[in-house]
Structure 1
Amino acid sequence: MASTVVSAETGHDLAPPSAAAMIEAMRALGYSLRAAVADIVDNSISAGASRIWVTTHWNGEASWLSILDDGRGMTREELVNAMRPGSLSPLAPRARGDLGRFGMGLKTASFSQCRRLTVATRTADGFTSVRRWDLDHVAQTGEWQLLRQEAPGSTPLLAGMENVTHGTLVLWEVPDRLVGTIAPGEAAMKRARRQFYEQVERLEHHLATTFHRFLRGPGRQTITLNGNDIQAWDPLLGDWDLISQLPEERFHMDGQTIQVQGTVLPHPSLMGAEQQQEAAGPGGWNRQQGFHVYRDGRLLSAGGWLGLGLEQDDRYRLARVRIDIPSALDHRWNVDIRKSRVTIPPALRDDLRRIARMTRDHALSVYHQRAHNRAPAAPGAGEPMSLWRITPVGQRYSYRINRDHPLVQAARQGTPEQQRAVDALLDLTVRTLPVERIWMTAPDSVEAAPQQLTPEDIELALQIRDTLVTGGLDPGQALLRLCLMEPFCALSQTELEALLRRDDP
């Protein structure tokens, strides 16, 4: 008969994590430089800072980065707690305006970029404290030893503290993840330097977008990058008069309010070149299409339809939807540790899908409406005529050449063999039209409808007019037909006639 072994052990064991192993695991959370710096800026804003200075310094593998603010600063005890991993539970309630989440941001964001994190802080009474995590020291000792002073030789890098009566400076040194190991040789050094500054440029765009609400309006903050104030960029273009907004809707969850509003940008033809560039933003038109989720005013997620089954379609590039959530609903929206990804709660999916579709339909109507806003033709001349016939087929569009177009009709006036050749050419053009490639290679180049014809347009108009006259029309009839063709129908018959007369040989 088998015997049963029963353990007499009771109580518990302490199993603290290995310091070196835990820190290396924390480094692998997938922060980019821009997300990491934004996490530190969150802390500065939560500390009541009015000015934040971000400074990057290139010096190969000895490069460094610092974030200084004029917030309230921390006492010695508060600093030690802030440097402790997991200093505040994500389940703990947070004050309105506290942009933190897991009590991990300072450490995880910093460790993701560097091996030496130093924080100096000063309170209003003038007392300054310094603490430092040195990952090489932790690896050597195997202990969570938080050092009480900056590294030898790093004191000059903390000199910015002399410019504030109270505040905090975060210093990143030994930026192995930011710079990496640079191979010997001048070419490798130049390549690493270029990549460093490319990341800094992306950082500027990210801060301008993520904190745009904090950079404008009463009580605004100022964020400076390498001596230059960052200019806010609002992906929803809230201060534009030409945008079209759907009525705001409010939803309630756990006693909190969520605000949602669809926005449709104006047709690009109503914008100048600078306005088009501003509307497109750093990532381009289609990158901004979709939901923009804000948490206590801070942008978490910019663009995309958040898994609602709505494809990213070029036709809806003008559609953007604002969602405002409070930090108290972080757990409902699955806000991740980097504050860069959210998930729509199941209870809101149907409503948000409905609002998204309404916004997309409105955006599509803007293009359709603009397509019909052409200069009126002469009385009795008929509707403007396009060379292409575009018809919806399910979720896609079918493109066919309009065989009734006057120029097509003129081209087919020949022998049967010539007509067949023209028909074959037209069929081949339709068959090989690279619609998908056009969208892929130029998704952000929205061209405005011409307000005036270019010299090339006028030369083309002259050639078409002559072709129509050769086909049997008199000059007046040919001009009337020309006025119905795109892009010439953007002008009145009188305007077009004057242009052609001026450019006649």
Structure 2
Amino acid sequence: MPGKAWFQVAPSAARLTGSLRDIGYDFPTAVADIVDNSVAAGATRVEVMIEFDGADSRVFIADDGHGMSPTALLEGLRLGTRRTYDSGELGRYGLGLKTASLSQCRSVAVISRSTPTVVRTSARVLDLDLVEEWDEWIVVDPGADSDVARAKRWLAEGTGTVVLWRNLDRVLPEKRPDGGWARRRLEALAAKAAEHLGIVFHRFLEGTDGRAPLVITVNGQKVRAWNPFAPDEQSTTELPVQRFEIMIGEGSGHVGLRRYVLPSRDRFSSPAEFDRMSGPLNWNRQQGLYVYRADRLVQWGGWNGIRGIDEHTKLARAALDFGTDLDSAFNINVAKMRVSLSAQLRQMLEAPVNELCVHANAAYRRTERGTSKPVPQDLGAPPEVRAASRAAATAGLALRSAAMQAGEWAAWLRIAAVLREQAPDVVETLGLTD
């Protein structure tokens, strides 16, 4: 800046870290952000250990990835890592390791080994008590530390990284951290973390697209993938795949949309599996768009302003996929938990989403009719009459779907309203009563 006076004003480290602790993580999402780093490091196994020990309770997140050199480890603890991220890599801002960890604890240690042939580990600690005391973003060597020594022993067999959370002030109660309630809380958080990891990393756990399955364990228990689209159910229906091009600045990128109608309870392989697939939000709130960034699920539930949640469309779910090159178009947040859809993309999605909901509505109502009293014309009707009734219902569904694809849904609603008034018997036959 020639000709101008300039001043370097460093931020207060103590104040800044206090603000960053409230960036929006809860315990499961914070753990998931650390696992993102493990996936980026090429790990095939990630072990999460949540150990209750009163005020000395701790969380270990260990992987067998390629690890970090001492220089890379120190850089990884910088607030706003300077390294660049490759296309498809789950990291983005260079904040995740620090913000996710400090949202749950006051001390985070990172122990890593990057040399497969030589057992050489490095360890560094970021401690908020020291940061606040010095008002500087400082990282220290842990010295003689039993927990760090334990992590180093885990890395004796090969490369990898261990993240250690201690002083869990955002997890344990300030009073009586050694009580029964604190123990039960940690147990509950372990269960929630396992469920969350099974959802957001389900594609990695399944090993799709020729990728070897990732193994994640929580307190020794293997995490089970929860695929929201129930691909193993024979009655799951998939509609044709859609692909959209969206503009970002002077360039463009592609977004994929896959649409599914899940089976109703009576067509699921078992009632237990139907209940499991209802998900943590249950069927109504679990319907909607499932947004994936580089195969990692970042947001789900609801239709992102395209339409409202409806009991009759609760079987409708859709996968919306984008790559890391479209991060700016989706405005993904630091915690990688929320995205926003541009007006351009919402407009593109409106017709295919409404078409999906038409199919889901029809599936729901078929079940409703199948579990209630038969309609009068079907009582004792011969097979050919029942077949004609089913064909008429299929025709009604096809008409609604065609209106969606032609961009004439508003016109179709007006037509259907006139039919309900002037020809209710036709409406009933075609299944257009909704």
**Length-normalised TM-score, structure 1:** 0.69
Q: Is 1:378 matched up with 2:380?
A: yes
Distance (Å, rounded) in 1 between the aligned partners of 2:330 and 2:143: 39
Residue type matched to 1:300 in 2?
A: V
Bigger mean CA deviation after superposition, 111-120 or 240-249 = 240-249
Question: Which of 154, 157, 160 is equivalent to 1:161?
Answer: 154
Structure 1: runs of 5+ lacking an equivalent:
1-8, 384-393, 395-505
Q: Distance in 2 between matches of 1:135 and 1:247?
A: 52
Instruction: Provide the rounded CA distance (Å) in 1 between the counterparts of 2:144 and 2:308.
Output: 51
**Alignment correspondent of 2:38:** 44
Specify the alignment match of 1:478 in structure 2: none
Q: 1:82 aligns with which of 61, 76, 80?
A: 76
Letter paired with 2:221: N
Q: Which residue of 2 aligns with 1:355?
A: 352
1:232 is paired with a residue of what secondary structure? coil
Larger radius of gyration: 1
Check conservation: 1:119, 1:170, Cα contact below 8 A: yes
Report the 3-state secondary structure (helix = DSSP H, G, I; strand = E; otherwise coil) of the residue aligned with 1:182: coil
| 1:174-227, Cα deviation, whole Å (9 max, x unpaired) | 00001131248x8xx222222222121111110000000000134111001111
Note if 1:225 corresponds to 2:215: no
Give the drift of 1:281.
2.0
Q: For 1:60-459, what aligned pairs fall within 5 Å after superposition?
A: 60-88=54-82, 94-123=85-114, 124=116, 125-149=118-142, 152-159=145-152, 161-162=154-155, 164-183=157-176, 189-217=179-207, 218-253=211-246, 254-271=251-268, 272-308=270-306, 310-373=307-370, 377-379=379-381
Higher relative contact order structure (alpha carbons within 8 Å, sequence separation ≥ 6) = 2
Would the alpha carbon gap of residues 377 and 72 (structure 1) be closer, same or farther in structure 2, given more than 3 Å must change? same
Aligned-pair CA distance for 1:108: 0.2
> Tell me, what secondary structure is at the counterpart of 1:365?
helix
Q: Is the 8 A contact 1:182 1:192 kept in 2?
A: no
Is 1:11 paired with 2:27?
no
Quote how far apart the aligned CAs of 1:78 are: 0.6
Q: Per the alignment, do residues 236 and 339 of structure 1 end up closer, same or farther by CA in structure 2, a change over 3 Å counting?
A: same
User: Percent same amino acid at aligned positions?
Assistant: 35
Amino acid in the other structure paired with 1:34: P
**One-letter amino acid matched to 2:98:** K
The amino acid that maps onto 2:169 is D
Does the alignment pair 1:59 with 2:53? Answer: yes
Within 2, Cα distance between the matches of 1:160 and 1:240? 44
> Structure 2: how far apart are the matches of 1:216 and 1:243?
18
1:360–1:13 CA distance, 2 compared to 1 (3 A):
same
Does residue 22 (structure 1) correspond to residue 16 (structure 2)? The answer is yes
The two structures have a TM-score, normalised by structure 2, of: 0.80
Q: In the alignment, what sits opposite 2:390? A: none
- Cα distance in 2 between the residues matched to 1:367 and 1:15: 61
Tell me, yes or no, if the aligned pair for 2:315 and 2:364 is still in contact at 8 Å.
no
**Which region of structure 1 is more displaced relative to structure 2, 347-356 or 115-124?**
347-356
- Structure 2: gaps spanning 5 or more residues: 387-412, 414-434
Pairing of 1:463-478 with structure 2 (within 5 A): none
| Cα pair 2:292 2:322 within 8 Å, conserved | yes
For residues 180 and 157 of structure 1, the distance between their equivalents in structure 2, rounded to whole angstroms, comes to 26
Q: Is the 8 A contact 2:123 2:148 kept in 1?
A: no
Q: Counterpart amino acid of 2:109?
A: T
CA RMSD of aligned residues (A): 2.2
Residues 115-138 of structure 1: CA distance to partner in whole angstroms, max 9, x if unpaired? 111000001243211111011011
Read off the aligned partner of 2:379 and give its amino acid letter. A
CA displacement at 1:377 relative to structure 2:
3.4
Contact residue 86 and residue 102 of structure 1 kept, 8 A: yes
Q: Compare 270-279 and 149-158 and name the one that shifted more.
A: 149-158
Distance 2:4 2:348 in 1: 53
